[in-house]
Amino acid sequence: MDFRLTFLGTGAGYPTPARTVTALAVERGRDLFLLDCGEGALRAMQAAGVGYGRLRAVFFSHFHADHCLGLPGLLQTLQLMGRQRRLDVYGPPGTRDFLHRAVNLAPFAPGFCTIAHELEPGSEVALGGLTVSCAWMDHTAPVLGYRLQEPDRPGPLDAARAAALGVPEGPAMGRRKAGEAVTTPDGRTVGPEELVGPPRRGRSAVFSSDTRPCADLTELARGAGLLVHDSTFTEAHRDRATETGHSTAAQAAVTAREAGVAALSLWHFSQRYRGPETHLAEARALFTPTEAAGDGMTRDVPSPAPELS
């Protein structure tokens, strides 16, 4: 099943022609989720061919303007399109109030149902086969980071080993795959562990929004396939990052390494930089599988890195 991200906005603070502000589309199967919804998110979805009629839920990290001002316009457009399906909006405390204001901002309030859900660490949301969990980040306002996790799947069947042990083809194989023991024609019991490899870990993607490096984010990202991390500054402006509640690209790389993720995407670049080349070089020196996200860029969520033994 597809599990794909499209970076809609990768800039910090305010939109420019090169980068609009924070928003990320997550498509898995037929579901679409948004992580933050900065100004320009709707237009970016149109440009990238992301079918926003399928939008199921929006997750907000916090309500600084560069993360949320796209919602009122998106709601109006969904209304014009005749949406009837409800829209769930998740975020930290304050989400209910923000959604109420967004819904009532313009004269034509959406006719479809919108439901606000205020989360805190420990909350888990089951949506479209994914489990969404969250943790507090370390910023100048309360910010939630999110992990979207697929369930683990049963390990692959070793057909050759099954044949060697005399397990017949057909329904008995199906039961064994479901984790049950089966009895061979000569009366031996064969347990599932003898024939199935270890479970295949589900894919997962973790999104820090605005944050300084913090232990809760490292834990949230533990073993994930992909970490999308605040990369507002380069090392030349590390003090500024600390002051304003953000990270440098190198700090993002250290978190990725410590969390044991398979890959790192940098985003939320300060508009003061012409391009992300320095961010990328500083991060790759510490964590090789790093990319600098750009507006419109798409990537599949990779499988998790093998567990360290």
Residues marked active site are found at 66
| Residue 239: CB minimum distance to Zn ion, A | 18
Tell me if residue 280 falls in helix, strand or coil: helix
Q: Which of 41, 39, 40 is nearest to 55 (CA)?
A: 41
| Residue 75: CB minimum distance to Zn ion, A | 21
| Residue 274: CB minimum distance to Zn ion, A | 19
Q: Which letter does DSSP use for residue 113 in this model?
A: -
Q: Which of 308, 136, 154, 127 is nearest to 223 (CA)?
A: 308
Tell me if residue 211 falls in helix, strand or coil: coil
| CB distance 12 to 45 below 8 Å | no
* Segment interacting with Zn ion, rule: CB under 5 A, options 6-14, 23-31, 89-97, 110-118: 6-14
Residue 210 binds to Zn ion (criterion: CB under 5 A): yes
| Residue 143: CB minimum distance to Zn ion, A | 7
Judged by beta carbon, residue 150 or residue 210, the one nearer Zn ion is 210
Q: Return the residues of window 81-140 that contact Zn ion according to CB under 5 A.
A: none
| Residue 250: CB minimum distance to Zn ion, A | 19
Closest residue to bound Zn ion by CB: 64
Instruction: Supply φ then ψ for residue 234, to 5 degrees.
Output: -95, 175
- Count of residues of this chain found to bind Zn ion when the rule CB under 5 A is applied: 4
Judged by beta carbon, residue 23 or residue 182, the one nearer Zn ion is 23
Task: Spell out the alpha helix ranges (H) of the chain.
Answer: 41-48, 65-68, 71-80, 95-103, 159-165, 171-177, 215-220, 238-244, 249-259, 277-284
* Segment interacting with Zn ion, rule: CB under 5 A, options 30-38, 61-69, 89-97, 117-125: 61-69
* Segment interacting with Zn ion, rule: CB under 5 A, options 25-33, 82-90, 154-162, 206-214: 206-214
| Residue 68: CB minimum distance to Zn ion, A | 10
| CB distance 204 to 300 below 8 Å | no
Q: Using CB under 5 A, pick the residue from 7, 41, 50, 64 that binds Zn ion.
A: 64
Q: Return the residues of window 11-40 that contact Zn ion according to CB under 5 A.
A: 12
Q: Using CB under 5 A, pick the residue from 66, 150, 282, 295 that binds Zn ion.
A: 66
Judged by beta carbon, residue 195 or residue 217, the one nearer Zn ion is 217
Please report the DSSP string for 44-96 in residue order: HHHHHT--GGGEEEEE-S---HHHHTTHHHHHHHHHHTT--S-EEEEESTTHH
Residue 230 binds to Zn ion (criterion: CB under 5 A): no
* Residue 158, token pair as written in the block: 């070793």
* Segment interacting with Zn ion, rule: CB under 5 A, options 10-18, 31-39, 145-153, 188-196: 10-18
**CA angle, corner 27, sides to 69 and 143, nearest 5?**
40
Judged by beta carbon, residue 12 or residue 196, the one nearer Zn ion is 12
Judged by beta carbon, residue 21 or residue 50, the one nearer Zn ion is 21
Burial 286-305 (b: 16+ CB within 10 A, else e): bbeebbbbebebebebbebb
> Residues in the site for Zn ion, rule: CB under 5 A?
12, 64, 66, 210
